[in-house]
A and B are shown apart, each in its own frame.
Chain A
Amino acid sequence: MTRFSAAETWKHAVLIVGALIVILPFYVMLSYSLKSPGEIERNEGGFFGSQAMMIDERCVKRGEPDRAAIAAAAERFPGSTDSEIQAALMAELRAACSRRPAVFNYTMAFSEAPLLRYLLNGVIVTASIFFIQVLVALPCAYALAKLRWRGREVVFSMVLFCLLIPVHAIALPLYIMLAKVGLTNTYAALVIPWTISVFGIFLMRQFFLTVPDDLIDAARMDGMNEFAIIWRVMLPTAVPALLAFAIFSVVAHWNDYFWPRIVVTGNRDLFTPPLGLREFKGDADGSFFGPMMATATIIVTPLIVAFLIAQRRFIEGITLTGMK
C-alpha cells in the first residue's frame, strides 16, 4: 500500500480543483440538457432536475381547438356550452402535451432541426476525407520510402514545405477557387481541401522506412506488382500508424467548424453537426436552452465515448500526429 503523505494530498487537492474547472462546462451541458426551461432559468433541481411533467407550450399552441374542432367534439360532451367544450378540449390538449423535461429536450433536438441529417453529413464528410487521404498518401509515401527515382528529393522537400501551411489560413483563396468552378455548397467543397494530407504522407513515409526491404523483395519474387504490394503488403503492416492517423483525421474534421462555415451557406441539407448547432443557437429563444444543450451533447458524445473506450489509442493518435 502506498503511504499517505502531506505532499501527495496537496497534489491531489490541486489536481481536483483543476479537474472541477475542466469538467464544469460538460456538467452544465449535460445537466441543462435534462432540465426544464424554468429550472434552467432559476438554476434549481440539481444535476438531473426534478423531472416533473412540463407542458410544451408550442405543442399547445399548435393544437389549440378552433370552431370546427369544438363543433366536432360537441357529441362527446352532450349538453355542454361551447366554452365548456373548449375548456375540456384544452385540458385534454395540455395533458397530451405534457412531457418529462429530458424527453422534451432530446425529442426537440431531433424535431426542431434535421439533426439526424447533420450527423449523417458529419459521418459522410469525415469518412470521405479519411479514405481519400489514405488513397492519396499511401502510394506517395511508399514511393518516397521504398522506390528510387529521379526527383524523389524534390517531391520530399515539397512535402516538408507544405507541412508549414495551415489549411485554415488559406481558406479564402481556396474558397475563391471553389466558387470559380461552382463547387460551393456541395459535399465536394467540404472534402476537397482536405484530400491531401501532407502530414499523412510524412507519417506514412517515416513508418514505411522501418519496413524491411526483404519483405517487399519477397513479394516481388512472388510476382506481385507494385500496386498489389502497396495494398496487400504495406497496408497491413501500417495498420497501427493508420489507426493513429484515422483518429487524428476524424477528430479534426468531425469537430471542424471554420471550413464548413465558409463553404456552406444556407443549404441546411449540407450542414455538418457544428454548423447545425450554430444555426440552432442563431434562432433559439430563451426557452430553448434545454434542446440546444441536448443537441450539443449529442454532437460531442460520439468522440468522447470513443475516447473513453480507447484512451491510449486516442492519446497516441492525437499526439503522434499533433503536428498541425
Chain B
Amino acid sequence: MPRSFAHIWFVAPAVVLMIVILIAPILVAATLSFTDYSLGNTTADWIGWKNYDRIVSRSSFQKMFVATFTYVAVVVPLAVGLGLGAALLINSLQRFGDFYKTIYFLPVMAALLAMAIVWEFTLHPTVGLVNETLAMSCGTALEAIPFFAQGCARNFPLWLGDKDYAIWTVAFIGVWQGFGFNMVLYLAGLTSVPRELYHAAEMDGARSGWERFRLVTWPMLGPTTVFVVTITCIRSFQVFDTVEAFYPQGGGPSKSVYVMMFAIFEKGIQQNLMGLGSAVTIIFLVFVLFLTLIQRWLIERRVHYA
C-alpha cells in the first residue's frame, strides 16, 4: 500500500470526537465527584470522598441500589428466559412462526416512553383494563385463590402506586419490552446449530427433547447467551424512561423504584448537585465496565477450552 497522509484527515475527526465526547466526560465526572460543584458556581471545593461516603451511608441511596439491583435481577433472567423459550417454541413450529416473531418484536420498535404511558392507563387501579379484567373473576371459581379473594373483597392492587408492587410492575414492563430482542438473537443462534449434532445425540441415546436441549442446544447457544445476558444487563441498568414517566418526582412509592439513572438525573439535573450526581455516574460506569469485562473473560475462556 502506498504511503500517504490521507489517513490523518480520515481518522482525526473520529479521534477528536472520541476524546471530547466519550473519554473527557469520564475524566470530568471523576474529578467533579470529589467536589461540591454546581452549575453557575465559578468555583468548587475539593471535598474528598464525601460524595461517595454519602452514597454508601444515606438511606435514599441504599434504596437506589436495592431498586436497581432488584430491577436487574428480575428483568435479566426473565427477559433472557422468555426470549430463549419463545425462540425454541417458534423454531420448532411447523407454521406461523414468523407471525409470532413479528408480534414479539413490536415492543422493541415502539418508543418506550409512549408505551409506558399506555401501560400506566392499562394498569390504572379503577378504570384500567387489567383490574377491570381481574374484577370479572369475582363470583367465579377463581375466587378460591387468595389473590382474587382479597381483590374482590377489598380491591385489586394499585400496581404502580403500591410500594409492594411498584418495582415488580416496572420490571414487568422492562421484560415486556426487552424479551423480543433476545428472542431474535436466539433465533439467529439456533440457525447455526448443525442438524447432524441432533442426530448424533439421538444415536448416543438422547431420546427426550430435554436431553437433546441439555446436550446440544444449550451448549451450542453458549456464546449467544453470554452476549444476550450482558446486553440485557447493561440495558436494564440504564432503565429510565418508564421510571420518569410514572414517577416524575422522587422515584416511586417510598423510593422503591429509585433506579440509578433516575438518581443521576434527579441529583444532577433537577437539584444541580453535580458532585453527587457525578459520583453516582462513576459508580454506574464501574458496574457496566465490570459486567463487560466478565463477558469478555467468559468468551475468551470458551475459546481456550473449545
Given A43-B129, A170-B29, the answer on whether A147 and B6 have CB atoms closer than 8 Å is yes
The answer to whether A303 and B127 touch across the interface, beta carbons within 8 angstroms, is: no
B269 proximal to A (CB < 8 A): yes
Instruction: Please indicate the chain B residues that have their CB under 8 angstroms from the CB of A282 in the complex.
Output: 248
Q: Whole-angstrom distance between the alpha carbons of A177 and B283 in the complex?
A: 20
Instruction: Report Cα–Cα, A105/B115, bound state, in Å.
Output: 18
What is the bound-complex CA distance between A21 and B277, given in angstroms?
37
Chain A residue at smallest Cβ distance from B228: A322
Q: Do B110 and A300 have beta carbons less than 8 Å apart?
A: yes
Chain A residues lying within 8 Å of B110, measured Cβ to Cβ, are: 26, 255, 300, 303-304
Asked if A201 is at the interface (CB within 8 A of a chain B CB), the reply is yes
A102 contacts partner chain B, Cβ-Cβ < 8 Å: no
Q: A2: which of B95, B188, B268 is its contact (CB, 8 Å)? A: B95
Give the one of A166, A168, A172 with max B CB within 10 A: A172
Asked if B89 contacts A195 (CB within 8 A), the reply is no
Q: Mark out the residues of chain A between 266 and 286 whose CB falls within 8 Å of any chain B CB in the assembled complex.
A: 273-274, 277-278, 281-282
Complex formed: what's the CA distance from A25 to B106 in Å? 11
Residue pair B6, A227 in contact (C-beta under 8 Å): yes
Query: Which of the 9-residue segments B62-70, B152-160, B161-169, B238-246 touches chain A?
Result: B238-246
Q: Is the CB of A169 within 8 A of B284?
A: yes
B89:A143 contact, CB within 8 angstroms: no
B11–A299 touching, CB < 8 Å: no
CB-based contact A164/B281 at 8 Å: no
Tell me which of A169, A225, A299 has the highest count of chain B C-beta atoms within 10 A of its own C-beta. A169
Q: Which residues of B contact A255 (CB under 8 A)?
A: 110-113
* Contact A281-B117, Cβ < 8 Å, known A11-B93, A26-B106, A170-B26: yes
Residue of B nearest to A277 (CB): B114
Q: Are B184 and A318 in contact (CB under 8 A)?
A: yes
CB distance A303 to B109 under 8 Å? Answer: yes
Q: A15-B86, A41-B127 are in contact. Are A22 and B103 (CB under 8 A)?
A: yes
Contacts of A304 in B (CB 8 A): 106, 109-110
Is residue A24 contacting chain B, with contact meaning CB distance below 8 A?
yes
Quick check: A164 and B289 within 8 Å, CB to CB? yes
Residues of A with C-beta under 8 A to B145: none
Q: Considering residues B4, B21, B28, B39, which has the most beta carbons from chain A within 10 angstroms of its beta carbon?
A: B21
- Distance to closest chain A CB from B101 (angstroms): 8
- Using known A-B contacts A177-B28, A198-B18, determine if residue A25 contacts B111 with beta carbons closer than 8 Å: no
A241, CB-defined interface residue at 8 Å: no
Q: A284: nearest residue on chain B (CB-CB)?
A: B117
Q: Are A281 and B127 in contact (CB under 8 A)?
A: no
Flag whether B105 is at the interface (Cβ < 8 A): yes
The complex places the Cα of A296 from the Cα of B110 at a distance, in Å, of: 10
Segment with Cβ contacts to B, from A53-61, A69-77, A85-93, A133-141 = A133-141
**Distance between A304 CB and nearest chain B CB, rounded to angstroms:** 6
A169 and B114 CA atoms in complex are apart in Å by 22
Query: Restricting to A1-22, which residues have a CB under 8 Å from any CB of B?
Result: 2, 8, 11-12, 14-15, 18-19, 21-22
Q: List chain A residues, Cβ under 8 A from B1.
A: 146-148
Which residues of A have CB within 8 Å of B95? 2
Name the CB-closest residue of A to B4. A226
A164 touches B188 (CB 8 A): no
Name B234's closest neighbour in chain A (CB-CB): A166
Give CA–CA (A21, B17) in the complex, Å: 43
Chain A residues with Cβ under 8 A from B180's Cβ? 22
B7 touches A175 (CB 8 A): no
Does the CB pair A196–B18 fall under 8 Å?
yes
Which of B17, B265, B269 has most chain A Cβ within 10 Å? Answer: B17
Partner of A32 from the list B11, B114, B121, B188 (CB cut-off 8 Å) is B121
Quick one: given A22-B104, A262-B269, are A173 and B114 in contact (CB under 8 Å)? no
Q: Are A172 and B18 in contact (CB under 8 A)?
A: no
A-facing residues in B79-130 (Cβ within 8 Å): 82, 86, 89-90, 92-96, 98, 100-115, 117-119, 121-122, 127, 129
B285 near A24: Cβ-Cβ < 8 Å:
no
Contact B25 A177 (CB under 8 A): yes
State whether A162 touches B18 (Cβ < 8 A).
Answer: yes
Q: Is residue A113 within 8 Å, beta carbon to beta carbon, of the partner chain?
A: no
> Are the C-beta atoms of A164 and B292 separated by less than 8 Å?
yes
B278 contacts the other chain (CB 8 A): yes
Q: Are A139 and B9 closer than 8 Å at their CB atoms?
A: yes
**In chain B between 1 and 36, which residues have their CB closer than 8 angstroms to a CB of chain A?**
1-2, 4, 6-7, 9-11, 13-15, 17-18, 21-26, 28-29, 32
Given contacts A19-B100, A300-B110, A300-B114, contact A171 B264 (CB under 8 A): yes
Instruction: Say yes or no: A170 contacts B100, CB within 8 Å.
Output: no
Contact A319 B278 (CB under 8 A): no
Task: Give 6 A-B contacts (CB < 8 Å), ordered by A residue.
Answer: A15-B100, A257-B111, A282-B248, A289-B121, A300-B111, A322-B231
Q: A8-B93, A26-B110 given. 7 additional CB < 8 A pairs?
A: A165-B26, A169-B285, A173-B26, A196-B21, A226-B6, A303-B110, A319-B188
